[in-house]
Structure 1
Amino acid sequence: MTAQHTVTPTPQPPGGSSWALGGTVFAGVLMMVIGVVGVLNGIAGIASNDVYQRIGTYIYEFNLTTWGWIHLVIGVLVAVTGWGILKGAAWARGVGIGLTALFMIEYFLFLPYAPVWSVIAIALAVFVMWSLATADRTSITP
């Protein structure tokens, strides 16, 4: 006499795979981290006008106090939106894609001041935008 075994499927998170959910959570955390780093860059630029040294000439030149305020404002907005993504706010996904695109443009323009960090920030922004754009809508709701 042989016993029959039934295989029960592994439960999936509602609305998508665990990869989609994990990517969205990771994108929210990355947004909070890059937002806080942007705020810190902004405070440094506002507090001291010689924190960064421009490498060569560049067509998009601003003084460092202006860059400090730009970093501060965008950093706060990105961090708050990242928190919204982690909380599953309905507005956060679209706003997150838009703000991350703005963040990416900001760091492209900031390349002569901090080239290594700017390239890293642009790569992180691309990942965040991809993750938010490809995630299932229901994967970011609580």
Structure 2
Amino acid sequence: MTEQPLIAEVSQKAIIESPDGSLLVMQMDETTWELPGGRMGAYEEPVVGLKREIREETGLSVTIDEPIHTAAWRNDQGRGRYSVVYACETEETEVTLSEEHCDYEWVSPETARDEFLTVSIHQAAIDRLLAAESADQATARND
């Protein structure tokens, strides 16, 4: 049994892929870029909550796939955090920003990971997405 269980606030983020394979990154302030998403409501179903957050922050309609990465940690104030990052797809690329973000970009997965995102959880999620896509391509070649 765990001696001290993690009591955590849950956040969900989305790696949203456009038809051309670009990913959406959102600018929160002058130095911070992140993936769209946010905290779940207390009685919200996970996918419903993520779709709500995406719609509020971007105006996009998305298809949500399986979670691609999860992480748990304590923030600087010692509060528990738990994050789930989902792979998502959209046919749309016209973003309507909410007051939470000041800009957005559609960029390659590598550019998102290496040049925009500074949160290690988001970078790791993109690494997993790229690994899964590479495995899918290898399987398709072998079929």
TM-score normalised by L of structure 2 = 0.29
TM-score normalised by L of structure 1 = 0.29
